[in-house]
Structure 1
Amino acid sequence: MPDELNVDIVTPDKHTFQGPATGVRAPGTEGAFEVRKDHAPMVAAFGIGPLIVKTTAAHEYADMHDDRIVFATSGGFLEILNNNVTVLAETVEPASEIDVERAENAEERALRRLEEGVKGEEREKHEAARERARNRLRVAMGKVGTRRS
């Protein structure tokens, strides 16, 4: 297909996705951005948020009625070179595989610790944990990336 990118998503633990796509939307540290065919070479950091791959072929993670795969991610780097997009993520989880109960429990644990009045680095750690849990819940429940571009 002429408008395709080759997308490869990996974490330290596994190879999560590899295949063709027409675009990738990432939660950049300075705001979300989208990559399409013939994008200039770059390396960009991204943070906690939804990572959306616009697929061109059937994939086990794709919704039957959709051309997108939404992943919850906790950050990493994205490299673009010659229509190849490599995502090196700390964590990445397809919406279809998110354990909602586990994410709710993680959010509650983090909130309890924050309500206890922890300070400094400890507070930052629990705020990040709460944000990761909230992101997983939003992605699992389909509340992100619903607007089509």
Structure 2
Amino acid sequence: MAQPFQFELVSPERLLLSDKVLEVTVPGSEGEFGVLKDHSPFMATMRPGLLKVRTGEGKLVEYFVRGGFADVSTSGLTVLAEQAIPVSELKADVIAQQVQDAREDVADARDDEARTKAEATLAQLIEIQTALKAA
């Protein structure tokens, strides 16, 4: 049986999780990888996707992460995410409406700066929508 290890999930806004967990599956930029207790130390970049955490009680909790870094060390795993949102807080219909609104913002942009900002927002929302469909 898997042994618990320390895991921290941090976004710029807040510390989302700091607890002993059994397993974490990370969406690495070179491919998905799993971390268990006593994993060899290394650091990896992440792509947008689902971070899956098996809690100490065995429950699976998923987070949408939008890039960042995963640092596996002798003391555990720390994930520094550009953005992290619990999947349970994401609602498909709300995200779909936000995607539609963002597409309209891109079409209505009056200058390059506004268009670039609107396109970045649209890309982020599409990443979230894609992750929701994969969940």
What is the TM-score with the length of structure 2 in the denominator? 0.77
5+ residue gaps, structure 1: 59-66
**Alignment partner, residue 54 of structure 1:** 54
1:17 and 1:24 map into 2 onto residues whose CA distance is: 12
Shift of 1:98: 2.0
Which protein is richer in helix relative to its size? 2
Residues 135 and 6 of structure 1: CA distance in aligned 2, closer, same or farther (over 3 Å): same
**Alignment partner, residue 31 of structure 1:** 31
2:94 and 2:41 map into 1 onto residues whose CA distance is: 38
Would you say the 8 A contact 2:2–2:36 is kept in 1?
A: no
What is the TM-score with the length of structure 1 in the denominator? 0.71
- Between Structure 1 and Structure 2, how many residues are aligned? 135
Residues 109 and 29 of structure 1: CA distance in aligned 2, closer, same or farther (over 3 Å): farther
- Please state if 1:19 is matched with 2:19: yes
Residues 38 and 103 of structure 1: CA distance in aligned 2, closer, same or farther (over 3 Å): same
Counting only pairs closer than 5 Å after superposition, residues 47-86 of structure 1 correspond to structure 2 as 47-57=47-57, 67-86=59-78
**Alignment partner, residue 6 of structure 1:** 6
Cα deviation code 1:83-110 (max 9, x no counterpart): 5110111111111222444422332234
Residues 22 and 107 of structure 1: CA distance in aligned 2, closer, same or farther (over 3 Å): same
- The CA RMSD over aligned residues, in Å, is 3.0
Would you say the 8 A contact 1:48–1:73 is kept in 2?
A: yes
Identity of aligned residues (%): 28
5+ residue gaps, structure 2: none
**Alignment partner, residue 43 of structure 2:** 43
Shift of 1:139: 4.9
Would you say the 8 A contact 2:2–2:23 is kept in 1?
A: no
Cα deviation code 1:23-74 (max 9, x no counterpart): 111111122111112111011110111111111238xxxxxxxx21000111
Shift of 1:127: 6.1
